[in-house]
Amino acid sequence: MAIVNRLTVDGRDYFLPDPVSELKTKILEAIKAGGGYVNVPPLRGGPGVDILFSPGMPVTWSQFEVGEAPAPVDEPDDELADYEL
């Protein structure tokens, strides 16, 4: 199981890998300073995105576990498909 964090800023969702404690600290510091840019890293590679955080801007965090995809269900035999069981 992997933990994925969702950061919602002004209605836009950003998905981040764990840990996010350093990012939370940077965002809080930017808001306390009256506003500032914070680089939000991507979930998988790339430069991320710079977001201007300011006091009063709606920011929410959520966290959820993402597991492996379930194994595919075997296809029914042709004989059973004829009976629609």
Higher pLDDT, 73 or 84: 73
0.75 cut: is pTM over it? no
Domain boundaries, the chain: 9-66
Pairing of strands 49-53, 36-40: antiparallel
Beta-strand ranges (E) seen in 2-83 are 2-9, 12-17, 36-40, 49-53, 59-66
| 57 CB neighbour count, 10 Å cutoff | 14
Q: How do residues 51-74 score in pLDDT, each as one tens digit? A: 999 999 999 999 988 776 666 666
